[in-house]
């Protein structure tokens, strides 16, 4: 009998940031691996589009603003009351802002940290709540290669993503006693998100320069989704506190 270790067997999995990019790609792939998806985001119209692309049945849509961080654990509890204990969380939501250090303000820095880091804290807190997660399940947080490499104008973004890695390692230690895992993936440039968020701002010449820095080309949402699925499924059962770098050869400095 052939067993697929990446078969998610109907497990309820929450995907944040599922209205586009990595989040949407992850939700679609997990549905193909037989998970039961709860897709979340702020834009209901785009979230509904993601829901319509999922395979299988039993999926649901949970519009929610993750900036309302104190409400996250209660929100997760309300989801669990309807779906049963979660089999995993893929936290793909996040924001990026290009701004040199000399133009930063406390408010701007705190806004980035709140969205990219504090939301992860509270998602993990909610996931760890009594009866909210199946033993052996996992949270995967989407960090960035910017946490290691840095880039001009991305100081607050890189800081938030580096902090996410530090948080994940500590959370992994704390959740061991509950039989839960916490890991990160750290993508370099993903084509869809670059063009959607920064393409016009950067210009064609700069985009081409960035492309030359990625020997295997820019990544696609599916490249990140595959790694997230690996960490959520049985294939990742012996992995916690780790960060999987997905950079298309960028760090090789060819």
> CATH number, domain at 71?
3.40.50.720
Whether residue 1 is contained in a domain is answered as no
Tokens, residue 199: 């393409």
Tokens, residue 27: 């939700």
Whether residue 233 is contained in a domain is answered as yes
Q: Which of 221, 212, 214, 161 is nearest to 191 (CA)?
A: 221
pLDDT tens for residues 95-139? 988 888 999 999 999 999 999 999 999 999 999 999 999 999 999
Q: What residues have CB less than 8 Å from 50, skipping those under 6 apart?
A: 18, 19, 20, 23, 24, 27, 28, 39, 41
Taken in order 76, 80, 86, 92, is the CA torsion positive or negative? negative
Whether residue 200 is contained in a domain is answered as yes
Whether residue 48 is contained in a domain is answered as yes
| Residue 105, domain extent | 12-247
pLDDT of residue 223: 97
CA distance 81 to 146: 37
Q: Which of 188, 196, 239, 244 is nearest to 218 (CA)?
A: 188
pLDDT tens for residues 155-211? 999 999 999 999 999 999 999 999 999 999 999 989 876 566 555 566 677 778 888
Whether residue 225 is contained in a domain is answered as yes
CA distance 12 to 30: 10
Residue 150 has pLDDT above 90, yes or no: no
Whether residue 3 is contained in a domain is answered as no
Q: Which of 65, 72, 69, 63 is nearest to 128 (CA)?
A: 72
- Are 39 and 11 in contact by the 8 Å Cβ rule? The answer is no
Whether residue 6 is contained in a domain is answered as no
Whether residue 7 is contained in a domain is answered as no
Find tokens 């979230």 and name the residue: 47
Task: Name the 3-class secondary structure at 252.
Answer: helix
**Strand ranges inside the chain, DSSP E:** 12-16, 36-39, 60-61, 86-91, 133-142, 181-187, 243-246
- Are 12 and 83 in contact by the 8 Å Cβ rule? The answer is yes
- Pick from 20-24, 106-110, 147-151, 165-169: least confident: 147-151
User: How many domains does the chain fold into?
Assistant: 1
- Rounded to 5 degrees, φ, ψ at 102 are -65, -15
């Amino acid at each position: 009998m052939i067993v697929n270790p990446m078969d998610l067997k109907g497990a309820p999995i929450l995907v944040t940031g599922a209205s586009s990019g990595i989040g949407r790609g992850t939700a679609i792939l997990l549905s193909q691996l037989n998970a039961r998806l709860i897709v979340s985001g702020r834009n209901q119209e785009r979230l509904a589009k993601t829901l319509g692309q999922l395979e299988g049945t039993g999926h649901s849509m949970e519009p929610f603003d993750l900036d309302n961080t104190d409400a996250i654990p209660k929100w997760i509890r309300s989801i669990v009351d309807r779906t049963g204990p979660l089999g995993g969380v893929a936290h793909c939501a996040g924001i990026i802002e290009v701004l040199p250090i000399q133009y930063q303000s406390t408010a701007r820095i705190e806004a980035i940290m709140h969205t990219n880091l504090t939301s992860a804290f509270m998602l993990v807190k909610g996931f760890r709540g009594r009866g909210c997660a199946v033993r052996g399940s996992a949270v995967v947080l989407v960090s960035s290669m910017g946490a290691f490499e840095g880039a001009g104008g991305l100081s607050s973004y890189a800081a938030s993503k580096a902090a996410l890695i530090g948080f994940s390692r500590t959370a992994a230690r704390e959740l061991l006693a509950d039989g839960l895992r916490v890991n990160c993936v750290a993508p370099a440039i993903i084509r869809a998100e670059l063009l959607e968020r920064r393409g016009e701002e950067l210009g064609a010449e700069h985009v081409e320069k960035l492309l030359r820095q990625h020997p295997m080309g820019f990544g696609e949402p599916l490249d990140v989704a595959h790694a997230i699925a690996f960490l959520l499924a049985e294939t990742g059962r012996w992995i916690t506190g780790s960060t999987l770098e997905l950079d298309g050869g960028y760090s090789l400095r060819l």
